[in-house]
Amino acid sequence: MSSSLIRCLLAVYALSESFEVVASKDVAHLLGVKRPTIHRSLEILQRKGLIQKAPYGDIHLTDDGMRMAQTLERQRDDIAVLFARRFGLASEEGTAAAFALMSCLSNESLARLQQAT
């Protein structure tokens, strides 16, 4: 999954943890991008069965989306900590590196990185 889709899914997850209603404008605001960009990402996440979204309506994670978001969040956090502890990267840089790796490495390689923390 691309870095932008991972970020979008995790934004929906974070917002749904705090608010009953999640709208695309909220996701766009959280990520600091324009709404058309978010709409495209949300459409892809919906086709993948990770979210449910009514046209111009609320966004909800599916059970699969919730599980994937929780897994991705753990991976992101573990890899970001690894980069901070082992290489002295700032938090923002470690998180950016984590997203980049998560979008291009296999699950096996990501699991190895997580074990290194």
The helix/strand/coil state of 59 is: strand
Residue-level pLDDT at 113: 86
Q: Which residues of the chain fall below pLDDT 50?
A: none
100-110 pLDDT tens trace? 999 999 989 98
* pLDDT reported for residue 116: 83
- Cβ atoms of 50 and 9 within 8 Å: the answer is yes
Q: What is the mean pLDDT of the chain?
A: 93
Q: What pLDDT score does 30 carry?
A: 95
Reference 7, options 34, 26, 27; nearest CA is: 27
pLDDT at 54: 84
- Token look-up 């994937």 returns 68
